[in-house]
Chains A and B, each alone.
Chain A
Amino acid sequence: MAYDAIIIGAGLAGLTSALLLARNGRKVLVVEQHHSPAPVVSGFERQGIYFDSGFHYAGGLGADGPLLPMLRYLGLADKLQLFPYDPTGFDSLRFADSGEEYCLPVGFANICNYLVEKFPAAATEIGIYLNEVASTWRNTPYLDLDVDFADFSMASVHGSSLQQRLEVFSPWPQLQSLLSMHCLLYGVAPDKAPLSLNAQVAGSYYHSAHGIVGGGRQLIKALLQLIGEAGVELQCNAEVVSIRAEKGTAAGVRLASGEEIFAPQVIATVNPVLLPELLPDAGLRPAYLKRLKKLRQTSSAYIVFGRSKQPLEFLRRRNMFVQPAADIFSGIESPLEQRPFYLAGADQDGNGTVTGLIGIVPAHYSEVESWGFAGKKRTEQYRSWKKEMTDRLVQMLRNNCPELSQLELLDLATPLTLRDYSRAPQGGIYGVARELGQYNPLPVTRLPGLFLAGQAVTVCGLMGTMVSSCLVCGSILGHEFLRGELKKWS
């Protein structure tokens, strides 16, 4: 079989790219190292509760949202049922020391009114700041279908940090917390996070916040059905060991089995740090390969999957961020019990009560590095350490949230789990970081026919991965063409 393109990785970026190309007549093969597609976004079930492990909620899907044309064009809009998060409060924030709680409503104007009511003395600055976010968050190719793709820009590399921008709010630490808490959704601390990154991610949720009925599992199911109908082939248990280049262009991939598959275009959705190993003799510049190898990763995490006998209605259509005390978010360097964390209700779209909990506590890979496991095998000693961590984490959640007094743990993901399931070195929860001073790779490379898609080339989440797929497929199909197609659905 002759393929036009081979896509490495059947995660969100890989499946979306496959669908975009196949819809436009390309013969596509997706190869995935895991035994099933999208192991992270597909989530899992424990004791009858479905837990999402990759997708939790998405911004930018409300009226006029920039992701809607993509979902419609891809055919996903008809297959997915979205549900809005609570318009009166989609993300709440609790300070553990005082028990004080805030809750952001949906929509820039509503957020502005709410914050001005809570912090009247900061009214003018709140207005200015939210206007900045509102006018910049979608100012990027494919979120704005009239913005051009630039292959060189220093703006997000040398701009201000979120922390610097929020200094103006230092008389109101609670406000600083509220405006920095979404850093947990992209895994970069506010002192390193470009202001534009925070605007993009937080701004998308300020615009609108939605869940998908059936969660990430349903999203993947719909994508698999659509790529099947479009004639895409998917091969699992197929680990790519190298990307082939011939006569100065991409030529295909070689699998661990020894099989070689040829195609003039290869889209890699792997963490770009891993790319140099896959490109032994592609003739890419040492400077580029070194840059890829040195890319810093987002923070890692412990993810608690639990069940509560007491219903968790406080998490229905709403997440909760918890911080030890009001301040600009930070804390990955703090002892476990003093870190901020994030709670989401599992399996919450049905009519039943919410009983499943997903709790995400930021972590550093160094906390598990000494175990040194190369693969997925673990030792008895590790299991007893994990049990200890589990007890500490559950205790920490219970101490900060009386609502979780009857929480029982069903499973725990550690930075090692994240490393192994998403193939992210150091278990970076959102892959490569987008941080100040770092030039992330572009979707196009100096090897003709080789492209990169996924969170690293854009931002994290459903929005980032879909935009990255548009950037890559636009490079192949023509940006003007793809934007024209998307405009028909906007």
Chain B
Amino acid sequence: MTEAEVIELIDSSLAEEFELDRADMGPTANLYEDLGLDSLDTVDMVIVLEGAFEFKIREEEAVRAIRTLDDIHRFVLAKIEQES
């Protein structure tokens, strides 16, 4: 999967599972301030990513540090790199 494909899969999965508007989903979009998520959504975000990429996310601190859509992109890309 290319980097662009990974990013597209992340964005489309989150858009569908959290009913987000793709137009609002620029890489700098803040999950909490711009996209309306809150800390209660973190678990579901983890599960959506686990389902989309078929890996297990155990990096609690890294997940807690996520703020923007780009943070998610970089987190997933690093994880794919790590696992390959």
Contact = CB atoms under 8 A, between A and B. Distances in A.
Interface string A436-465: 010100101110000000000000000000
B45 A154 contact: no
Contacts, number: 48
B40 A287 contact: no
Contact of A154 (B17, B39, B44, B60): B60
A285 B44 CA distance: 9
Contact of A291 (B18, B44, B58): B44
Contacts of B80: none
Nearest to A286: B17
B39 A152 contact: yes
B64 A285 contact: no
A148 to B, nearest CB: 14
Given A285-B17, A285-B19, A291-B47, A442 B60 contact: no
Interface of B: 16-19, 38-48, 56-58, 60, 63-64
B42 to A, nearest CB: 5
B48 A287 contact: yes
A451 to B, nearest CB: 12
A195 to B, nearest CB: 15
A153 B39 CA distance: 11
B5 to A, nearest CB: 21
Contact of A290 (B17, B56, B58): B17
B36 to A, nearest CB: 10
Contacts of B45: 287
Nearest to B46: A439
Interface in A28-62: none
Interface of A: 151-155, 158, 285-288, 290-291, 437, 439, 442, 444-446
A291 B43 contact: yes
Contact of A446 (B38, B56, B57, B63): B38
Contacts of B46: 439
Contact of B43 (A152, A155, A158, A286): A152
B56 to A, nearest CB: 7
Nearest to B39: A151
B18 A287 contact: yes
B62 to A, nearest CB: 11
Nearest to A438: B47
Contacts of A155: 60
A291 B42 CA distance: 13
Contacts of B44: 285, 287-288, 291
Given A154-B60, A286-B16, A439 B47 contact: yes
Contacts of A445: 40
B41 A158 contact: no
A291 B43 CA distance: 10
A213 to B, nearest CB: 42
A285 B56 contact: no
Given A286-B18, A290-B17, 12 more contacts: A151-B39, A152-B42, A153-B60, A158-B56, A285-B17, A285-B19, A285-B44, A286-B16, A287-B48, A437-B56, A445-B40, A446-B40
Contacts of A151: 39-40, 42
A158 B30 CA distance: 27
A152 B64 contact: yes
Given A153-B60, A154-B58, A154-B60, A285 B41 contact: yes
Contacts of A442: 40
A291 B45 CA distance: 11
A163 B18 CA distance: 36
A285 B17 CA distance: 6
13 contacts: A151-B40, A152-B39, A152-B63, A152-B64, A153-B60, A154-B57, A155-B60, A158-B56, A158-B58, A286-B19, A287-B48, A291-B44, A439-B46
Contacts of A290: 17
A96 to B, nearest CB: 38
Contacts of B58: 154, 158
Residue of A151, A154, A442 with highest tally of chain B CB at under 10 A? A154
Nearest to B42: A152
A479 to B, nearest CB: 15
Residue of B18, B43, B45, B57 with highest tally of chain A CB at under 10 A? B43
